[in-house]
Amino acid sequence: MTQAATAKRRASRFAILLGATLLAISPPSLVEAIDDATQCVASIEEVTGKYLKCLQNAEKTLTERGDTARFAAAQQACRDSFDRVMARIAARADGACPGGLSPEEYREFLDGCSTGVTEAAEDGEAPQCGSCGDGVVDLEEQCDGANLAGSSCTSLGYTLGGELACDTYCSFDLSACRAQQAPVTGEIVPYGAASDGAVQAGAPLSLVDNGDGTITDFNTGLMWEKKDDSGGTHDRNNQYSWSSLGGTSLDGTVVTDFLDVLNDVSGGGAACFAGHCDWRLPNIKELVSVVDLGTAPPIHPTFSRPTCTGCSDITQTSCSCHGNWALSSTTSTDDSRSVLALDPEFVSIRRVPKGIAFPARAVRDQ
């Protein structure tokens, strides 16, 4: 969350507490025996009334004389006086003041109210800010209509972004924001209260066919290559070696005949697959993320359509195939000559020799 958003939330919490307390407490001269927090709020009530009265007098001067320079100086004098008194109140309370606002933050809250600032001065009341739905984001609001106060899903901590909206209560609607997180396995049959099928921990599976030969996983932020049954570059049965014969480095045909083709290395990137030139092999955890134990075969349906046989146009949602195995970029921890591969059909991970050919599916980061 941004610093500005944090300050807004703190100001909002303080404003609510102050507004609720002002009606219930006595002036500072009558509250000697009450607790420090209530004493602090009472003192702030008094200085708030004086500050608003000061602003009213400054506006009155502007109305009567039309002297903008004198008006600006008078406004600044009001602010300086308010800040000094608020600093003394905070120091005297020694952390007991609610909300944790600095004098400047609370004054900015008062100045930010859209209506009723000087009108409230005569009675020394806290100002009434604009209402939800007027398009103005007051400090007690997170947003107002289309006005998101400069916030976005990303600024609020959602690593994959998304579309931030505002609800009818002038609070953020985060339903379309996306954050990177582990997905559920898809298992739905419970085998005891603590079993995966009962708990179903993780983010709901959220994969979408993009209509360009790729699939996006909104949980992991990964974009996957689709497979077909055409005999071409994307054929599900194509097999590649991870390393050149006898080697351990990732330099086999999975690079030269597959990834380099997708990334159009020979053409300088002019014809990269789906307009992206950063395709790579997934690691073993990324491969497992597309497993869906709630389906048969246990791979998410966007990767395995019943109309796969003979299909050749992966831009069509009906054309999507899966192979029996898929190479990962992850080398086995106990044998540098082997790499980990996933069999989605049986949700099995095994070591395979790097020089032996196996199917592969490409992925990229969004």
The pLDDT tens digits of the residues spanning 36-77 come to 666 777 777 788 778 877 877 877 777 777 777 888 888 888
Highest mean pLDDT among 106-115, 160-169, 215-224, 273-282: 273-282
Higher-scoring residue by pLDDT: 352, 126: 352
Highest mean pLDDT among 27-36, 49-58, 351-360: 351-360
- Residue 335 is predicted with a pLDDT of 94
- Residue 185 is predicted with a pLDDT of 85
Higher-scoring residue by pLDDT: 82, 4: 82
Residue type, 194: A
Question: pLDDT at residue 21 above 50?
Answer: no
Q: How confident is the model at residue 110 (pLDDT cuts 50, 70, 90)?
A: low
Higher-scoring residue by pLDDT: 307, 3: 307
Q: How confident is the model at residue 24 (pLDDT cuts 50, 70, 90)?
A: very low
- The sheet carrying 338-343 orders its strands as 326-331, 338-343, 348-353
- Residue 69 is predicted with a pLDDT of 80
Question: pLDDT at residue 294 above 60?
Answer: yes
Taking the mean position of all CA atoms in its chain, how far away is CA 213?
Answer: 27
- Residue 302 is predicted with a pLDDT of 93
Q: How far apart, in whole angstroms, are the C-alpha atoms of residue 141 and residue 161? A: 22
pTM of the model: 0.55
Question: pLDDT at residue 22 above 70?
Answer: no
What contacts 24+ positions apart, CB below 8 Å, involve 88-92? 89/40, 89/43, 89/44, 89/47, 90/40, 92/40, 92/43
- Residue 88 is predicted with a pLDDT of 84
Question: pLDDT at residue 139 above 60?
Answer: no
Question: pLDDT at residue 32 above 50?
Answer: no
Tokens (6 digits) for 222: 């990964």
- Is residue 268 within 8 A of residue 256, CB to CB? The reply is no
Question: pLDDT at residue 29 above 70?
Answer: no
Mean pLDDT across 246-273: 95
- Residue 160 is predicted with a pLDDT of 79
Burial of 220 (0-12, 13-18, 19+ CB in 10 A): buried
- Residue 5 is predicted with a pLDDT of 42
Higher-scoring residue by pLDDT: 136, 24: 136
